Amino acid sequence: MAGANFPLGRPPFDYDGTPPKANLPNLRRLFVEARTEVEENEYSRTAFYNLVLFISSVAVFSLAAQRMSGPKAAR
């Protein structure tokens, strides 16, 4: 009975001393495969527009804060 002394039937470390890696699926690939090409393009476009909107709003608030703070004395 090989591995009977170990839980899960295998040693807690690989032969090189590192813990074994879990065989987890690539989640992004699962989501991409679950959608059609048109749906994936729509999600990508929406994410891009949200990113542009966020960056634009940060720039607008930054400019507004600079203008509201008034001129600073040069040192």
Mean pLDDT of the 5-28 span: 66
Please indicate whether residue 18 or residue 44 has the higher confidence score (pLDDT): 44
Task: Please name the residue ranges forming H helices in the chain.
Answer: 27-34, 37-69
Record the tokens describing residue 22, joined without a space: 């879990």
Helix (H, G, I), strand (E, B) or coil at 74: coil
Distance, CA of 57 to CA of 6 (rounded, Å): 56
- pTM reported for the whole predicted model: 0.52
| Per-residue pLDDT at 40 | 87
Q: Residue 34: pLDDT band by 50, 70, 90 thresholds?
A: confident
- Contact at 8 Å (CB) between 70 and 64? no
Distance, CA of 17 to CA of 13 (rounded, Å): 5
Q: Residue 28: pLDDT band by 50, 70, 90 thresholds?
A: confident
